[in-house]
């Protein structure tokens, strides 16, 4: 599912709802400003951030973790880091633990898109803002998170296909190595790629087989080894890998099988990690579509704006029964 198309709207609406909820909580009680419960002061000490990371399946993921940790250190944020080892259930446990620790803000990189609604409701009840970093979630109520910070994965898929279209002639038989099943980036990168292939001028390019490689280099190699033994594996001339790590693993498998990756097989992948550039320089990878993992600065800018600089204005509702008591203390 592509959430990117309305992400801009989601960011705006969610922030608006979040801030207005703060205002409403003081408005709906009504009465005099002086008798209202004092507002929770804006955060003055160290901000505490819970960060639920997917794991360490790729060079991209490692770079994202470094970016978030380095930014936390630079800004003096108390970062509670949790590595879910690719398991959604571990992420859910970590999120519940962040609630009980009373963190100020939660950053979630969701391994898959679905299944988050119950825990996001618990977080929302606890009044903790959630920032999605990198991958999206599929929820019926977009106000369950405040913002998404990350890339347009559908567009990445389109770019990969456009490159292949512009840099090949004749029949192109593509093997597709997909990312983690159910991950927004895997779904969307496939969608964008297929969208471009559906254009009449690209009817010469066909996906002949598509398999999961979980975004891991080792898995990419194993899957390619198995594919090379199939009928389609004897007669393909292009690889589309949803990330560089899987492409690099597949390149290794092709070399071991006596193929010349980059020449016999055109290879396009996504991420733009350093090892992909090395493979391009060596002539073994043809193209990488950039997906930046350097999300730390944007995540912390937003978190600080939400947590540290959030000031609620106390307001009331008055009627004829309270007007006489309040009129004397009115300053405006």
Nearer to ligand AHR, 104 or 188 (CB): 188
CA distance 54 to 72: 18
For residue 171, which of 228, 229, 238 has the smallest C-alpha distance?
238
Nearer to ligand AHR, 215 or 227 (CB): 215
CA distance 209 to 175: 5
Residue 274 CB, nearest approach to ligand AHR (Å): 13
Nearer to ligand AHR, 84 or 128 (CB): 84
Nearer to ligand AHR, 60 or 145 (CB): 60
User: Residues interacting with ligand AHR, by CB under 6 A?
Assistant: 57-58, 60-61, 134-135, 185, 215, 243, 245, 270-271, 291
Residue 177 CB, nearest approach to ligand AHR (Å): 12
């Amino acid at each position: 599912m592509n959430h990117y198309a309305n992400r801009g709207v989601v960011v705006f609406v969610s922030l608006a709802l979040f801030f207005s909820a703060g205002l409403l909580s003081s408005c709906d009680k009504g009465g005099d400003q002086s008798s209202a419960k004092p507002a929770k002061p804006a955060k003055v000490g160290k901000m505490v951030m819970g960060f639920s990371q997917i794991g360490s399946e790729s060079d991209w993921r490692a770079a994202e973790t470094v970016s978030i940790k380095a930014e936390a250190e630079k800004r003096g944020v108390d970062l509670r880091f949790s590595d879910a080892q690719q398991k959604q259930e571990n992420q859910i446990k970590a999120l519940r633990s962040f609630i009980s620790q009373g963190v100020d803000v939660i950053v979630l990189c969701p391994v898959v898109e679905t299944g988050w609604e119950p825990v996001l409701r618990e977080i929302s009840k606890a009044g903790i803002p959630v920032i999605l970093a990198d991958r999206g979630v599929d929820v019926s109520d977009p106000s369950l998170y405040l913002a998404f910070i990350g890339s347009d994965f559908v567009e990445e898929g389109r770019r990969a296909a456009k490159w292949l279209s512009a840099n090949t002639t004749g029949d192109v038989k593509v093997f597709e190595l997909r990312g983690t099943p159910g991950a927004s980036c895997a779904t969307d990168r496939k969608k964008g790629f297929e969208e471009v292939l559906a254009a009449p001028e690209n009817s010469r390019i066909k996906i002949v087989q598509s398999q999961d490689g979980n975004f891991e280099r080792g898995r990419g190699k194993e899957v390619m080894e198995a594919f090379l033994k199939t009928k389609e594996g004897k007669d393909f001339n292009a690889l589309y890998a949803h990330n560089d790590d899987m492409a690099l693993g597949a390149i290794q498998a092709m070399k071991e099988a006596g193929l010349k990756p980059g020449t016999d097989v055109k290879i396009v992948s996504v991420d733009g990690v350093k090892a992909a550039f090395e493979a391009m320089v060596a002539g073994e990878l043809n193209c990488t579509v950039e997906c930046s993992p350097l999300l730390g600065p944007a995540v912390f800018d937003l978190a600080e704006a939400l947590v540290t600089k959030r000031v609620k204005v106390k307001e009331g509702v008055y009627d004829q029964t309270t007007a006489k008591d309040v009129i004397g203390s009115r300053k405006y």
